[in-house]
A and B are shown apart, each in its own frame.
Chain A
Amino acid sequence: MTGTDVEDVDAFRARARTWLAGAMPRRSGAVGLDTVQEDRVARHRELQRTLFDGGFAGIVFPVEYGGLGLTPAHQRAFTEEAREYDMPVVFNVPTLGILASTLLDFGSEDQKRRHIPAILRGDELWVQFLSEPSGGSDLAGCITRATQDGDVWVLNGSKIWSSGAHWCDWAMCLARTNWDVPKHRGLTMFIVEIHQPGIQIDRIRQVAGTSEFCQEFFDDVQIPASAVVGAVNDGWTVASRLLFHERNSVGGASPYVSGGGPEGPSGGRLPGNRLVAEEVGVAADPEVGQLLAESYLLDVVHGQLAERIGAGIRSGAFPGPAGAILRLFSGEKFVRQTDITMEIAGVSAAAAPKGALVGRYADQFLGRQGNCLGGGSTEMARNIISERVLGMPREYAPDRDIPFNQVKRNELPSRP
């Protein structure tokens, strides 16, 4: 497709609407409880394949890597049309929104051709190996090491908080390749095949009972030189771009994801709060009406803000780090909405019949801070907004310009 042949958004939307009705299954289950469960992953791989075969995968991805080469407006239209359908949302974050997008920005031609079509087909799920037990926010301070041995790199160390590593295929891993220079200048990003000798994956049990997060241990893992993304010792450039994609994804402004996302003003699905109110029997209470209205308007405003920030970053009205604005709004919105749910639930938050919706939402409340931590903490988002968007002075950092091997850091955790 050449530039002059780009399909009109309305025509694309109409075509998508027809195709979806014939090809994709209708959605079921409450909004907001989309915590991925293992048994859904295989189904989502199938759904992604259906999208790909139907010609609707990778809407903004370049045509040469299996995508449609269209615009964010096309993707938004598709996501709106897909609201009533079961979509392979497990592919959205981090595979499409964070990793495939970063690969597009920094991957070699070989890497892009090898992996992006496979992702869009549903054959590859990706995960980030970034955070470590000794530090998450200070990503540049990571201590997982990669040492060069001939034409391979040898990886040792540990990563944590990787979503669904046990069901994923590939990862982007940030490792230290030079300890004698300041921290930002001695990092390299690698593509790592997850299921290989030397990598042990432990599941982490979360408060709500799920265990989709993992900790990984690397024991002399062999990585080919062709697995370097970007340049050796320039991994921070790649990581910074990855974090940009992550902020956008978590905040709801990524054009790379398909389906899911915050409720728009014409969202046809009942939000969880409404369902809980009905289940508990308080939907007619005017005070509950106030809370439901507040929860609803936060979703509407979120969607409006996501469009504004997304458009503003694309046009240059906002600097790239403005994605942190969305990340912050998203986290704080979730805090308020879960508070509202608990208020509406009343005493049923303490105990409810087995299988009741209110019980699942009470569990969600327990883990809700995860929404303010994963994808960059809301505290870090506030640093980014104040420093990179408002231009305020940066925090004092004693480790910024000294060789990394001289920096004070947390002790290594002992192996279980």
Chain B
Amino acid sequence: MKLDLSPDQELVRDTTRRFLAERSPLAEVRRLAADPAGYDRKWWRQGSELGWTAMLVPEELGGGSVTGDGLLDLVVVAEEMGRLVAPGPFVPVNVVASALAAAGNEDHRATVLPALVAGESVAAWCLAEPGAAWCPTDNARVTAERTAGGWVLSGTKSPVEAAVDADHLLVVARTAEGPTQFLVPAGTPGVSIVPLRSLDLVRRFAEVRFERAEVPDQAVVGNVGRAAADVEHQLLLALALQCAETVGAVDQVFSFTVEYAFDRYSFGRPLASYQALKHRFADMKTWLEACHATAAGAADAVQAGSPDAARLASVAAAYIGDRSTAMIQDCVQLHGGIGVTWEHDIHLYLRRATVNRATYGTPRQHRERLAALLPA
């Protein structure tokens, strides 16, 4: 994270760290691997009391942050979640809450939003489509056709994080007028949610199928046909949070691997005394600090709504995506054989980093975006 956190942000960091260490330490994360949702609702409500779900929602709509810069406070939480590979629908709920706060109708804001902020209900953002675009808008394959009193949704979204346990689904669909977002109750007839086998132990993904699922006009979030800008902004929020989380995970792995190198002896001296290994640690330290710097740069730009925000978010996503899994794999190698055992904690981190790298755009997909965004 950035070096100059304010005292308030340090408090957020320390409170989050303490809460996670007490309520969802790694042993609990392993236990939750067998849980269908991958997290405990009561734990999620307690996290919401700490502000996990409120920071991207303005105070007048029941939200609030510590410093007033909601995203900058929230990435502090995100990084801590990465450090302990926390469970829970952190990114999906925050993205949907932000979307409803910005573009939801009165009913969304009066009923759905408060429940999300309180941690009483959970939402998922249905964006990616199988074998198709990772961020579809004009080219979305999930369609919505007008009917007498509303819309009919058809198509499949996959993979969708947190859909298994979600109460609400925010869906990006294509209409005759253009891309449109709809808030769909999970139990709507015609909606089926099929769990996928997720690489992460506790972050669950599912396929969400819409088979002529009917929703009323009031399900529209924002303006019909004009969701592209909302989708883009939501994507940038997701990327900023995801990058911060990955950086927290990699930082933690690097720290305990350095510690291991001091403690583990071979041929009469610690691993940390071998130059070949020292040099790998030096490379990783360099990449790690670069990851911190670029994640902070992206968060600042997205928070400020700067014209550079999309570019800096893709820079961060591409760089951190590439470096994070490479570094964690090298840390696996530095641990020797125990690094590929179930018992050692490192695979929990590798899973999280790999999932984050793959969702909301791979490094290659972000470089493709960047190529189109390069300054003239």
Contact = CB atoms under 8 A, between A and B. Distances in A.
A301 B3 contact: no
B282 interface: yes
B270 A393 contact: yes
Interface residues of A, number: 44
Given A265-B308, A301-B293, A304-B294, A293 B282 contact: no
B370 interface: yes
Interface string B312-355: 10110011000000000000000000000000000000000000
Given A379-B279, A386-B279, A392-B261, A293 B3 contact: no
Interface stretch (B88-96, B202-210, B239-247, B284-292): B284-292
Nearest to B287: A329
A267 B315 CA distance: 14
Interface in B148-175: none
A265 B298 CA distance: 11
Contact of B315 (A286, A300, A387): A300
Contacts of A309: 289
Nearest to B291: A301
Contact of A325 (B272, B289, B374, B375): B289
A286 B285 CA distance: 32
Contacts of A324: 282
A3 B315 CA distance: 38
A298 B272 CA distance: 29
A231 interface: no
Interface residues of B, number: 41
B4 A315 contact: yes
A101 B281 CA distance: 30
B283 interface: yes
Contacts of B366: 293
A375 to B, nearest CB: 16
A214 interface: no
Contact of B371 (A293, A379, A385, A386): A293
B281 A390 contact: yes
B263 to A, nearest CB: 12
A312 interface: yes
A286 B371 CA distance: 8
Contacts of A301: 290, 293-294, 315, 319
A382 B282 contact: yes
Nearest to B369: A293
B315 A297 contact: yes
A402 to B, nearest CB: 22
Given A300-B294, A312-B3, A293 B278 contact: no
Contacts of A274: 374
B157 to A, nearest CB: 26
Contact of B283 (A289, A292, A382, A384): A382
Interface in A284-324: 286, 289-290, 292-294, 296-298, 300-302, 304-305, 307-309, 311-312, 315, 317, 324
A387 B289 CA distance: 17
Interface string A370-410: 00000000010111111101101101000000000000000
Contacts of A384: 282
Nearest to A328: B286
B375 A386 contact: no
Contacts of A150: none
Contacts of A386: 272, 278-279, 281-282, 285
B275 interface: yes
A29 interface: no
Contacts of B269: 393
A267 B314 CA distance: 16
B18 interface: no
Nearest to A263: B375
B368 A290 contact: yes
Contacts of B357: none
Contacts of A387: 278
Contacts of B297: 265, 300, 304
B194 to A, nearest CB: 34
Nearest to A302: B290
B293 A293 contact: no
B179 to A, nearest CB: 24
A385 B285 contact: yes
Nearest to B290: A305
B364 interface: yes
Given A301-B290, A328-B282, A392 B273 contact: yes
A265 B311 contact: yes
A266 interface: yes
Interface string B295-315: 011000000000010011011
A381 B282 CA distance: 8
B291 to A, nearest CB: 9
Contact of B374 (A293, A302, A312, A382): A293
Count chain B CB atoms within 10 A of each CB in A266, A294, A297, A309 and give the residue with the most: A297
A267 B311 CA distance: 12
A416 interface: no
Nearest 10 Cβ contacts at the A-B interface: A289-B371, A386-B278, A385-B282, A382-B282, A293-B370, A293-B367, A304-B293, A393-B273, A308-B293, A382-B279
Given A265-B308, A293-B374, 6 more contacts: A290-B368, A293-B367, A304-B293, A383-B278, A385-B285, A386-B285
12 contacts: A292-B374, A296-B370, A296-B374, A300-B297, A302-B290, A309-B289, A317-B3, A389-B285, A390-B272, A392-B261, A393-B269, A393-B273
